Amino acid sequence: MEPNIEKPVIGITTGDLNGIGLELIIKTFSDNRMLDICTPVIFASNKVINYYRRIVEDHPFNFSSTKDLTKLNPKQVNIFNCWEEEVPLQPGVLTDAGGKYAVRSLMVAAQCLKDKQLDAIVTAPIHKGNTHLADFPYTGHTPFFKEKFGAKDALMLLFGSNLKVGLVTEHVPVSKIASLITKENLQSKITLLRECLSRDFGIDKPRIAVLGLNPHAGDEGQIGNEEQTIIKPLIDSIHNNGHLVFGPYGADAFFARQSYTQFDAVLAMYHDQGLIPLKTLANGEGVNYTAGLPVVRTSPDHGTAFDIAGKNIADPTSFREAVYQAIDILKQRANYDIYTANPLRRGRIEKEKQVEE
């Protein structure tokens, strides 16, 4: 199936059945205007959807049920039934069933994406506390999609407001971070970030800031030497090859002085270093994107939020934005591929622009 760029088919996974994922999905797609820009397919069951539809009854939600992705209703939300059995639901509680069926939803949707029955996928949050019980040996969605689609590497990239942050390391213990800051790992992540900014976000010559690992970026080797021995030499080499990559910067001063506004993206060494400022600045509108895949996958920038699940107070803003961004990235990729497919055509377009100017 060739991607339908004008109105793409977007697969939606449930996330943990006892988290806020299904509330967010229903709230997002209860707005019929969403059906003007995409055809959503939720991988769940009618019974689970009906359960949460009663909880968020102030958001009228209609759907069509299907087991055949070649027969979707473009004027309604489509539910692709991944299971028929009754599932015990306990909003706000971490249960084995919540993780088992979250993985079921994800596995079925990911395979449909791989089979080109979907144009993109938006994943609701899962919880690592129960997904491993369902034969899901991954620390999160990013490594799962990397393996599923045979990518050499993948980059967790979160963005919102005027900030994009990629991570060298993701969900790993702090005690192991330094061992993963290698020349090879850094080179791969910087390359993925640069290519993603060009193809997926339309930034021709992206400016990338790289943060240091240690406080004050090591203080000239006084507080760790990774900056001097690994990070800075690699940045210098990449910069000398004509790419706009700069650093390493001390993270605290970099964000406090709003230096990020001078760059198209920031590469952080570890999870909290980059995501605390990102989530603070994004103010509930952040999106998580897996860069480096041959497909498009986005998600909201938050977790399962068991503390508010089932109370009809979860804010769908980030989830809705994840849907918007999946659609935008699909369109941007298509435009990029057309623009770069024929060098002669590209040269003619640029020449015509110069004449007009």
Return per-residue pLDDT of the chain as tens, 357 residues.
555 678 999 999 999 999 999 999 999 999 999 999 999 999 999 999 999 999 998 898 999 999 899 999 999 999 999 999 999 999 999 999 999 999 999 999 999 999 999 999 999 999 999 998 888 999 999 999 999 999 999 999 999 988 999 999 999 999 999 999 999 999 999 999 999 999 999 999 999 999 999 999 888 889 999 999 999 999 999 999 999 999 999 999 999 999 999 999 999 999 999 999 999 998 888 999 999 999 999 999 999 999 999 999 999 999 999 999 999 999 999 999 888 887 665 555 555 555 555
Helix (H, G, I), strand (E, B) or coil at 22: helix
Ranges of beta strands (E only) in the chain are 9-13, 39-44, 63-66, 77-81, 120-123, 155-160, 163-167, 208-211, 245-249, 265-268, 287-291, 297-300
In sequence order, which residues have a C-beta less than 8 Å from that of residue 292 and are 6 or more positions away?
146, 151, 152, 153, 154, 155, 192, 195, 196
Pairing assessment for the beta strands 77-81 and 63-66 based on DSSP bridges: parallel
Q: Which domains does the chain have, with CATH numbers?
A: 1-151+293-357 (3.40.718.10), 152-290 (3.40.718.10)
* Residue corresponding to tokens 């055509």: 345
Cα–Cα distance, 262 to 283 (Å, whole number): 20
For the chain, the distance separating the N- and C-terminal CA atoms, rounded to the nearest angstrom, is 40
- 43, 47, 50: which is closest to 67 by C-alpha? 43
Q: Tell me the Cα Rg of the chain.
A: 21
- The secondary structure element, H or E, covering residue 331 is helix 317-341
b/e map of 254-274 (b: 16 or more CB within 10 Å)? Answer: bbeeeebeebbbbbbbbbebb
Pairing assessment for the beta strands 77-81 and 39-44 based on DSSP bridges: parallel
Cα–Cα distance, 84 to 62 (Å, whole number): 19
Answer yes or no: are the C-beta atoms of 69 and 111 closer than 8 Å: no
Angle in degrees, CA 351, 356, 357, rounded to 5: 95
